[in-house]
Amino acid sequence: MSEGEKSVGIPETGLRITALTIDQTAKILSSAGGRRISDQMIRSDIEAGAPTNPDGTINLVNYTAWIVKNVLHNI
């Protein structure tokens, strides 16, 4: 791993959890959750109503809250 790069392959500089691409979101969630999260899984969530920013990026805090809300709703 090169200096200035996290294990998920995303440079440390410039990463904003309030404005992630779908690819960045998938990599972060895969790394943190211990299972592979694909871009398509996130796209499916967006189609199902997951929040996005006006520019199409994802606020990780809002997206995670949406996931938790949906999981609790389905219990």
pLDDT for 22-39, tens place per residue?
999 999 999 998 899 999
Q: Which helix (H) or strand (E) holds 73?
A: helix 60-73
Q: Domain coordinates of the chain in residue numbers? A: 1-75
Across the range 44-51, mean pLDDT stands at 97
pLDDT for 55-66, tens place per residue?
999 999 999 999
pLDDT for 1-22, tens place per residue?
445 545 556 556 678 999 999 9
Residues 19/53, Cβ–Cβ less than 8 Å: yes
